[in-house]
Amino acid sequence: MAAAEPFLRIENISKSFGTFQAVRNVSLNVEKGEIFSLLGGSGCGKTTLLRMLAGFEEPSGGKIYLDGRDMTGVAPWDRPVHMMFQSYALFPHMTVEKNIGYGLKHEKLSPQQKADRVREMLELVQLVPYATRKPHQISGGQRQRVALARALARQPKLLLLDEPLAALDKKLRERTQFELMAIQARTGVTFIVVTHDQEEAMTLSDRIAVMDKGEVKQVGSPGDIYEFPNSRFVADFIGSITSFPATILARSEAQLRLSVPALGGDVVARDVPGLSEGQDATVSIRPEKLHISRDRPEGANAFPGKVKDLAYFGKDSLYRVVLSSGALVQAHAVNASRGGEASRAPGWDDQVWISFDPASAIVLAE
Amino acid sequence: MDRKRLALWFDRKGWSDILILAPYVWLLLFFLLPFIIVVGMSVGTKTPTAPPISFGGDYPLINLQGYVRTVADSLYFRAFITSLVSAGIATVLCLLIGYPMALGLTRVSRSWRNILLMLVILPFWTSFLLRVYAWMGLMGKSSWFNAGLTSLWNDIVPASWAVEFVPMMHSNFAVVLVMVYTYLPFMILPLYASLERLDPTLDEAALDLGSKPWQVFLDVTLPQSIPGIIAGGMLVFIPAAGELVIPTLVGDASSPMIGRVISDQFSAARDWPMASAIAVVLLVLMVGPAVLYSHFQAKAEGSK
């Protein structure tokens, strides 16, 4: 059975503060070497879950097993788990190298070994020239790397990152994101990232757990979560989407036929297990899955409408199309050609057809 | 008139200069000027006239006798030592008692914090003299407090060590005790101000990196509160070293403190130059380190 035991096993964890239930019965498995994200809005319980992993909060119920060891009652200072705080929490009265070496004073290492480890960490985050600076003498991005190096210096089994990129500006964020992934790959440490930023979670993570109101709504790879959301909440939370109420008319040959009054017609979609004829459902479509054209396209799932709004971004355009029912849909069109062909692109108030592939429609039983 | 124009008008009329000037004028009038007068008196000569001081004429224009005696006469030297040692002990005790209290203040809920801060300041609402008299009553040999301590002492020591009362009054112990009581708020408040500013996530970061709570205190909390310790220390040490009322009321008359000596020289002995010379030496001893400290502090800030 030892081989089947996941590296980190969170089992039915709950946490209440007074009458408020911050985390409700969460179970998760994380494999060694994964970048695993807890994604959700503020108050969804992701930070509380992280603090329970660090040992700052004791769960009200449930267990956490790390590498086979029950972490119940283990003090924060005894856990092989280190955290990179959102504010970085660097010690202002210590230099960069003292900050990085701080945790090492609890390791049984010779002074030389400690100095070597600090040096290694400084090299890992490319801060060797800043070793003797104080935190207030370096930039925000450098502080973030000091925090990372400090948390990694003791070679933790688990690294917890609380909104690791939130305090950085957009440009730095993109670069740092790739740096984080590279450092994770080099060290092999398992990362648990807490974030409210879906883009951050999508690009960083191997797997994501989407949380809402203390519960885990869905766990999966970024692609799974985006393309196959299992609930309205997940579908709405990740990326943009247009959803319409629908009724299932028929199921046949792995296909569903739904009546969608807002679209002004029937929709053909891939079959979803667990649905039955006559049941109410939701049809959701991502803007980039919608095609927009002046002429009626071939095949099913084509509906007429009129361009209400058009945002031109250069490489692509975002259309808001009002349908005959009065409903609005968003369609994303890549401006793949220029010149004569591009002038054929629909403009304001043009009559257009929107269409989508049956495989692109997301059908949810809510 | 919008804010910007108001500010411009304010600057043009020179009001801002006057505002900036005000504290300097205050210092000039109420510190520098009196200090120059004291320095002047310290180089005068004692005469049987009124006022009992003369310059020039039959006497030397600058007479450094006061300073010579301050250094040479062991009475004054001992008084300095008694004062500095008593003030030093009182400061250390205030720190040891005040630090946990200040730290506690930062850890309780906001509503409790306001109540407790109020309690720290509350003694100031009663006359200082009255509070010293209250301590005299408590320490006196016939008080319930002394009787309680006496029976406690007699219970725990062998019979041959038994005492009729605990001799607290008129001792340096009494002076230090009352000083600690009086100056404790001056230690707690600056310590609280510096501890309250510390980021609690730094404590969590240290815990997370493997430090036990006492190590977190030594590594993170204590080093960051050093400015508060120095500020509180100066606020206690400087007035305690020059203290007159407490040693006069509860102290040991045979080993006077320097404040008492200055007062005696000035009023009883009518030796104004001597009293002034001691006061100048005391001020230099007190203010010198403070000036040095703020100089290095400013340098450290400048390098940030």
pLDDT computed for residue B301 by the predictor: 62
| Strand-pair partners of A332 | A318
B224 to chain A, any CB pair closer than 8 A? The answer is yes
Contacts of A34 (CB under 8 A, 6+ apart): A7, A190, A191, A206, A207
Residue A1 has a pLDDT of 42
The domain spans of chain B are: 35-72+271-304, 77-268
pLDDT for residue B304 = 46
| Beta pairing class for A302-312 and A351-355 | antiparallel
Average pLDDT, chain B: 90
pLDDT given for residue B1 in this prediction = 55
Would you state the pLDDT for residue A340? 58
A85-109 b/e with 16+ CB inside 10 Å = b?
bbebbbbebbbbbbbbbbbbeeeee
Do the Cβ atoms of B209 and A103 come within 8 Å?
yes
pLDDT of residue B164: 86
For residue B217, give the DSSP letter.
Answer: I
Angle between helix B272-302 and helix B226-241 axes, rounded to 10 deg: 170
Say which of B208, B220, B304 has its CB closest to residue A76: B208
Give CA angle at B161 (B155, B165), nearest 5°.
Answer: 70
Q: Is the separation of the CB atoms in B122 and B168 below 8 Å?
A: no
- Residue A145 near chain B (CB below 8 Å): no
In CATH terms, the fold of domain A240-364 is OB fold (Dihydrolipoamide Acetyltransferase, E2P) (2.40.50)
DSSP track, A262-321: GGTEEEEEE--TT--TT-EEEEEE-GGG-EEESSPPSSSSEEEEEEEEEEE-SSEEEEEE
CA separation (Å) from B204 to A16, A75, A156, B168? Answer: 21, 12, 16, 46
Contact A91 B205 (CB under 8 A): yes
Q: Which tokens belong to A215?
A: 């519960």
Distance from CA of A163 to the nearest CA of B (A): 15
Omega within 30 of 0 (cis) for the link into B51: yes
In degrees and rounded to multiples of 5, residue A141 shows phi and psi of -65, -35
Residue range B240-263, pLDDT digits in tens: 999 999 999 999 888 889 999 999
**Cβ neighbours around A259 below 10 Å, total:** 15
Rounded to 5°, the CA angle B25-B29-B33 comes to 130
**What does the CA dihedral A158, A163, A165, A169 come to, rounded to 10 degrees?**
-170
Distance, in Å, from the CA atom of B160 to the CA atom of B164, rounded to the nearest integer, reads 12
* Average pLDDT per block of 10 residues along chain A, 366 residues long: 76 93 94 95 93 95 94 94 95 95 93 95 94 94 94 94 89 88 93 93 94 95 94 91 90 86 87 84 91 85 90 88 89 77 72 89 87
Main-chain dihedrals φ then ψ at residue A61, nearest 5 degrees: -160, 155
- Rounded CA separation A41/A197 (Å): 8
Compute the 3-state secondary structure of chain B and give helix, strand, coil in percent, each to the nearest 5: 75, 0, 20
User: Which band of pLDDT confidence, cut at 50, 70 and 90, is reported for residue B50?
Assistant: confident
**Cβ–Cβ of A85/B209 closer than 8 Å?**
no
Instruction: Say which residues have a Cβ less than 8 Å from residue A37's Cβ, sequence separation at least 6.
Output: A192, A193, A194, A195, A200, A201, A204, A205, A207, A208, A209
* SS3 (DSSP) at B198: coil
CB contact under 8 A, B207 and A56: yes
Q: Are B194 and B231 in contact (CB under 8 A)?
A: yes
- Chains A and B form CB pairs within 8 A to the count of 62
Are A93 and B201 inside 8 Å of each other by CB?
no
Alpha carbons A337 and A335: distance in angstroms, whole number: 6
Fold of A2-236: Rossmann fold (3.40.50)
Q: Which has more pLDDT, B210 or A276?
A: B210
Question: Could you give the CA distance from residue B218 to residue B191 in angstroms, rounded to a whole number?
Answer: 16
Counting residues of chain B whose pLDDT is more than 90, the rounded percentage is 61
In this prediction the ipTM stands at: 0.84
CA of A76 to nearest chain B CA: how many angstroms apart?
5
β partners of residue A355: A291, A302
Domain residue spans of chain A: 2-236, 240-364
Rg (CA), chain A: 25
8 A C-beta contact, residue B241 and residue B83: yes
| Distance from C-alpha of A5 to C-alpha of A7, rounded to nearest angstrom | 7
Tell me the one-letter amino acid at A151.
Answer: A
B202 and A91 in contact by Cβ < 8 A?
yes
pLDDT score at B228 = 93
> How is residue A233 written in tokens?
């909440």
**Higher-confidence position of B55 and B94:** B94
CA distance A347 to chain B (A): 47
C-alpha span between B176 and B154 (Å, rounded): 24
User: Chain B contacts of A150, Cβ < 8 Å?
Assistant: 209
Q: Which residue of B has its CA nearest to A154?
A: B209
Residue B186 amino acid letter: F
Asked if A89 and B205 come within 8 Å (Cβ–Cβ), the reply is yes
Average pLDDT over residues B194-203: 94
Q: Which residues in chain A touch residue B201, judged by CB atoms under 8 angstroms apart? A: 85, 87, 89
Residue A2's pLDDT is 47
Domain B77-268 annotated CATH 1.10.3720.10:
yes
Token couple for A315: 């490489």
DSSP 3-state of A322? strand
- Minimum-distance CB partner of B210 among A87, A90, A106: A106
Taking Cα atoms as reference points, which of B238, B279, B286 lies closest to residue B76? B279
Task: Give which of B201, B202, B208, B211 to mutate to test A binding, by max A Cβ within 10 Å.
Answer: B208
Which of B:169-208 have CB within 8 Å of A?
A: 199, 201-202, 204-208
Q: Do residues A224 and A205 make contact, with C-beta atoms less than 8 angstroms apart?
A: no
